[in-house]
Chains A and B, each alone.
Chain A
Amino acid sequence: AQSVTQPDIHITVSEGASLELRCNYSYGATPYLFWYVQSPGQGLQLLLKYFSGDTLVQGIKGFEAEFKRSQSSFNLRKPSVHWSDAAEYFCAVGSPSSGGYNKLIFGAGTRLAVHP
């Protein structure tokens, strides 16, 4: 069965520090992988996605993620965090479903706090 694990429930970093959020997935084939961000009081916004090709994916807001098949991971990174990056981050794996839609399985999320 497909699953997504985000090992870190909460992470705190200082503004200007680098960031890496971990995501591990379980899926039988080559997965479609996503990172979403949810700012306080807002809906989810797609940061980036991986379907195929280059395993290093660039997204919005200066984020990037690297797909590592051997480790079943899709970690999200940012070289220098801004206070506005404080939010909850969700990793998801997608696949076609028998219902004719594209299914998303979400991780439980990582809440990021940024210290000034």
Chain B
Amino acid sequence: NAGVTQTPKFRVLKTGQSMTLLCAQDMNHEYMYWYRQDPGMGLRLIHYSVGEGTTAKGEVPDGYNVSRLKKQNFLLGLESAAPSQTSVYFCASSYSANAFPRYFGPGTRLTVL
């Protein structure tokens, strides 16, 4: 039981490049979330998913897209990276609508030059 895993752990991009971050969970959770963490700020919700095939915008969705083709995976895409997207990205999951995010992945540190 690996919990929530994220790939990759670190990445450096140039402005305008694209990339996809992968989040996987093996707990059969319905809900999955992508957060970003910036210095001096708490985590902020980018996008979330309430089940396979569904996604929705969180607090800071601009510049990101997501997909949930399989229940266990939640992908976060940056189509044209910008320096403002330099951040640490965390994925989280929860088992139902009545549950709060409990399990977080180890994070992906992204730097956009």
Interface on A for B, CB 8 Å cutoff? Answer: 4, 9, 32, 34, 36, 41-46, 49, 90, 92, 94, 99-109
Interface on B for A, CB 8 Å cutoff? Answer: 4, 31, 33, 40-45, 48, 50, 56, 90, 92, 94, 97-107
Known contacts A44-B90, A90-B42, A109-B42; A102 and B104 CB within 8 A of each other:
no
- The residues of B that contact A109 with a CB separation of less than 8 Å are 42
- The residues of B that contact A99 with a CB separation of less than 8 Å are 48, 56
- The residues of A that contact B106 with a CB separation of less than 8 Å are 41-43
- The residues of B that contact A102 with a CB separation of less than 8 Å are 94, 97-101
- The residues of B that contact A42 with a CB separation of less than 8 Å are 106-107
Q: Can you show 21 pairs from A to B with CB atoms below 8 A apart?
A: A42-B107, A43-B4, A43-B105, A43-B106, A43-B107, A44-B92, A49-B100, A90-B43, A94-B100, A99-B48, A100-B50, A100-B97, A101-B33, A102-B94, A102-B97, A102-B100, A103-B45, A104-B101, A106-B42, A106-B43, A106-B44
